[in-house]
Amino acid sequence: MQRSALQNQALNSQLWFLLLLACYTVLELSFNHRLLELAGDLQWKSTAVQLNDIEIWGRVVSGLGLALLLMRWLDNFVRSRVLLLVMCCALGLFSLWHAQKALVDHIVARADAQDLAMSWKSQMSTQEALNGRILLRGETLLTSPASADLRPVMSALWASSVAGLLPEDLDSDSGAAQLMSGFFAPQISQSKLVASYRKTVMTPVVLGASLLFGLLNLCQLFAGSVAWCLTVSGQDRLLQRCKLWLLAALTVVCMGLSWWPGNVWTASPAYRLVASPALWTDQPFLAPFVEWSVRAEPAWADSVAWVHRALLQDFEFTVPFRSWLVQDVTPP
C-alpha cells in the first residue's frame, strides 16, 4: 500500500510535529526557570515536596525531549506516525526516568560525612558568594556582587559548583557566615544533611539535561520551520541542499552561544583553578552537568524567565498524583 502524502512528507517539515516541538520548547524553558527559582531560594521556602515534584518533572521533561529527537532519527524506519510517537515517548521517558534517578541516587549513596557537611556549608554561604565575599583556597571568586542576570543561576548552582571541595576550603570574610558555619552546623540532623546534598546533586543533573534537550529541540524547530517554508514555496532543490547541513549548523551555533561567552563566575580564579578541577577529580559523574549548567544557563536566563512568566503564567510544576511517585525520589 502506498503511503499517504502526509506520510511521504518528511517528519521535520510537518506542521503537527513543528507544533509539538514548539509546545515542548515552551514547557522546557518554563521548567528551567521554575527549577532555578526553587533551587536558588535563599529564604529556604522551598519544601521537600516541591523539590520532589520538580525532580519528577525533570525526568519527564528530559524524557520528552529525547523522544522528539528519536522521532526524527527513527522516522524512516517506522511506517506509522502514531506508532512512532508512542514508541519514542515510551523509550524516552523510560530511559531518562531511570537514568537520572540512578545517577542522582548513585552520587548521593557514595557521599561521605565531608560531602554532606560541605553541601550544607556551601548552601549556607550562597548569599556571601553572591556578594563576592567568598574565597576558595585563597583564590578570588567575585570582585563585586553578582550581576542581576547571574544571580538566579549562581543561587541555584553555587553549592553544586564547589561539591568537590572540603568545608575548610571555603573562606569568608563575613562574621555572620563564620558564625553560621561554626555554631549552627553541628546541630543539623543527618536527614537534613542528606536532603541538602541530594538537592546539590539533583539541581545540575536535572537542569543541565533538560536545557540540553530543550536547545536541541529548539534547533530542530527552527530547522523544521525553514524546511516547511521551502516545501510550501516549492523550493525543493534548495530544500535538498539545506537539509544536509541546516540542523547541524544551527546546533553548533546554539551550543557555541551557550558555552563560549562564559561569565565572571566561570572566568574567576576561584572557579577555574580550584572549584572546577576539584569537582572533576572528586565528582566525575556530576562535573559535566555542573560545567554545562554554569555556562549555559546564564546565557538563557532572561529567555527562560520570560517564557515561564508570559507564556506559562508561572506554572508551579506540581505532581498531581504525588502519592504514587513521591517515594521514588525521597532520599533513603
What is the pLDDT confidence band of residue 321, given thresholds at 50, 70 and 90?
low
Given this model, what pLDDT does residue 203 score? 95
C-alpha span between 128 and 149 (Å, rounded): 17
CA dist., res. 56 & res. 329, Å (int):
8
The residue that leads in pLDDT, 9 or 310, is 310
State the pLDDT at residue 322.
Answer: 57
Beta strands in 18-89 (DSSP E): none
> Is residue 214 left, alpha or beta, with left meaning phi > 0 and alpha meaning psi from -120 to 50?
alpha
- Other beta carbons within 10 angstroms of residue 319's beta carbon come to 19
Task: Return d(Cα 121, Cα 163) in angstroms, integer.
Answer: 10
When pLDDT is averaged across residues 212-216 and rounded to a whole number, the result is 93
Question: 35: which 3 cell numbers?
Answer: 527549577
pTM: 0.87
Task: Please state the domain extents for the chain.
Answer: 5-329
pLDDT in the model for residue 236: 74
Interhelix angle 190-232/151-161, rounded to 10 degrees, is: 130
Res 102 pLDDT > 80: yes
Measured CA distances, 93 to 65, 88, 327 (Å) = 9, 8, 18
CB proximity list for 257: less than 8 A, separation 6 or greater: 299
The span from the CA of 194 to the CA of 111, in Å, is 9
Q: How far is CA 68 from the centre of its chain?
A: 17
pLDDT, average across residues 6-29 = 84
The predicted pLDDT at position 271 comes to 95
CB 166 within 8 A of CB 118: yes
pLDDT of residue 40: 86
User: Quick one: average pLDDT of 145-167?
Assistant: 92
**Dihedral Cα 141, 46, 109, 32, nearest 10 deg:** -70
**Residue-wise pLDDT tens digits, 284-304:** 999 999 999 999 998 888 888
